[in-house]
C-alpha cells in the first residue's frame, strides 16, 4: 500500500474543537492525507467567542517547523491563524517552494480580532507572494487591501486585486445564516495572477452551526492539491466537502452560540459504530 501525501497545518488551536488545528487535522484525515501540525497559538475558545490567546514563542514555532520539514515529505502546507508579523515572515521563509494555501485568519465569525495591522502588512509583503492560493472571505480580503465598507458585490474585484500581489486568490462567500432567512446559494470567486476570474456557485446550507467553516474549506483545498488536483478542481471539491460537513452538523445542538461544522466522518448519531 502506498503512503499518503503529507499536508502540514500551521495554525492555532480552538479549545472548542471547531476551527484551527482541529478542523485542519480532521479534514485532512477525511480526505486521505496524513496531517502534520505546527501550533502558533493556543486559544481559549467556544461557540460564543474567544476568551484568551497565548502566542507560542517564535523559537518553539521554529523548532516545530524544523521537526516536520526536516523529516517528512510535505506535499502541501496550509496556514491558518499565525498571530504575529514575525510568524508570517518565518512561514514565508520556511515554506517558499512548497504548494501553499494561505487562509488569512484575521477575524473570527464571533468578531474576535486574530491578527492586527502589522500582521496584514506582513501577509501582503511576505506571505502572499510565496503562496499558491489565498482564501480570504470578503471581510478578510477587504481588511488585507484596506478597503473598509465593501460588501460581497465587490468580491470579484477584491479577488482580482489580491491576485495582483502574486498568487491565486479565492474569495469565499459564505453567509452567516440566521433562522428565518432565505439564502439560496453561496458564491466563491477565484482570480489568478494572469487576470482570469472564475465564479463557483453552490447551494447554501441553512445552518448556524458553521464555526470552523473557513478552516475546513482551506484545509480541504490543501489536501486536494496534495493529491494532485488542479486549483479549479480543488476549489470545486473543497466547497463540496465543506457543504457535506455543514449538512451533517446542521441539526446538532452543541454550545450556546454558532456551533461547529461537523468534523465527524460517520455523519453523527444514526451511523454510530
Ligand X SMILES: Cc1ncc(COP(=O)(O)OP(=O)(O)O)c(N)n1
Ligand Y SMILES: Nc1ncnc2c1ncn2[C@@H]1O[C@H](COP(=O)(O)OP(=O)(O)O)[C@@H](O)[C@H]1O
Closest to 258 in 3D by CA, of 105, 137, 112, 80? 112
Residues 28-67, mask of contacts with ligand X (x by CB under 6 A): ---------------x-x----------------------
Indicate whether 109 belongs to the interface with ligand X (CB under 6 A): yes
Cβ count near 70 (within 10 Å) = 7
| Residue 213 touching ligand X (CB under 6 A) | yes
Residues 6+ apart with CB under 8 A from 273: 266
Residue 83 engages ligand X in binding (rule: CB under 6 A): no
Q: Which of 14, 24, 188, 236 binds ligand X (CB under 6 A)?
A: 14
* Residues binding ligand Y: number (CB under 6 A): 19
Query: Does 186 engage in binding with ligand Y (CB under 6 A)?
Result: yes
Residue tagged 473543497 (cell numbers): 238
Exposed/middle/buried for 43, CB within 10 Å: 0-12, 13-18, 19+?
buried
DSSP one-letter string for 141-192: HHHHTT-TT--GGGHHHHHHHHHTTTSEEEEB------TT----EEEEEEE-
Which residue, chain included where needed, has cell 500500500? Answer: 1
40 binds, among ligand X, ligand Y, none (CB under 5 to 8 A by kind): none
Distance, CA of 228 to CA of 225 (rounded, Å): 5
Residue list 144-183, contact with ligand X (CB under 6 A): none
CB of 73 to ligand X, least distance (A): 26
CB of 272 to ligand X, least distance (A): 26
Select the binding partner of residue 104 from ligand Y, ligand X, none (C-beta < 5 to 8 A, by kind): none
Place of cell 510565496: 130
Distance in Å, CB of 82 to ligand Y, minimum? 15
Which residues 95-154 are close enough to bind ligand Y by CB under 6 A?
Answer: 137
Of the residues 61, 81, 87, 127, which one makes contact with ligand X according to CB under 6 A: 81
Query: Binding marks (x or -) toward ligand Y, 231..250, rule CB under 6 A?
Result: --------x--xx--x----
Measured CA to CA in angstroms, residue 186 lies from 53, 73, 137, 168, 202 at distances of: 31, 35, 12, 20, 5
Contacts with ligand X by CB under 6 A lie at 11-14, 19-20, 43, 45, 80-81, 105, 108-109, 210-215
Amino acid at each position: 500500500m502506498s503512503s499518503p501525501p503529507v499536508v502540514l497545518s500551521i495554525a492555532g488551536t480552538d479549545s472548542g474543537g471547531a476551527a484551527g488545528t482541529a478542523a485542519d487535522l480532521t479534514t485532512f484525515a477525511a480526505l486521505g492525507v496524513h496531517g502534520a501540525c505546527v501550533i502558533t497559538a493556543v486559544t481559549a475558545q467556544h461557540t460564543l467567542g474567544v476568551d484568551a490567546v497565548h502566542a507560542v514563542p517564535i523559537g518553539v514555532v521554529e523548532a516545530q517547523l524544523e521537526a516536520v520539514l526536516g523529516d517528512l515529505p510535505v506535499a502541501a502546507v496550509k496556514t491558518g491563524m499565525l498571530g504575529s508579523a514575525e510568524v508570517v515572515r518565518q512561514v514565508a521563509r520556511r515554506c517558499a517552494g512548497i504548494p501553499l494555501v494561505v487562509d488569512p485568519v484575521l477575524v473570527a465569525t464571533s468578531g474576535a480580532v486574530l491578527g492586527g495591522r502589522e500582521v496584514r502588512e506582513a501577509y501582503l509583503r511576505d506571505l502572499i507572494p510565496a503562496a499558491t492560493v489565498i482564501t480570504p472571505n470578503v471581510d478578510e480580503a477587504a481588511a488585507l487591501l484596506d478597503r473598509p465598507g465593501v460588501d460581497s458585490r465587490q468580491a470579484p474585484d477584491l479577488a482580482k486585486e489580491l491576485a495582483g500581489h502574486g498568487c491565486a486568490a479565492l474569495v469565499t462567500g459564505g453567509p452567516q445564516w440566521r433562522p428565518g432567512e432565505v439564502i439560496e446559494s453561496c458564491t466563491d470567486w477565484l482570480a489568478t495572477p494572469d487576470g482570469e476570474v472564475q465564479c463557483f456557485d453552490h447551494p447554501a446550507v441553512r445552518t448556524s452551526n458553521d464555526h470552523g467553516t473557513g478552516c475546513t474549506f482551506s484545509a480541504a483545498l490543501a489536501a486536494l492539491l496534495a493529491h494532485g488536483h488542479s486549483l479549479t478542481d480543488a476549489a470545486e471539491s473543497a466547497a463540496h466537502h465543506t457543504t457535506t460537513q455543514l449538512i451533517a452538523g446542521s441539526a446538532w445542538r452543541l454550545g450556546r452560540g454558532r456551533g461547529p461544522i461537523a468534523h465527524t466522518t460517520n455523519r453523527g448519531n444514526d451511523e454510530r459504530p
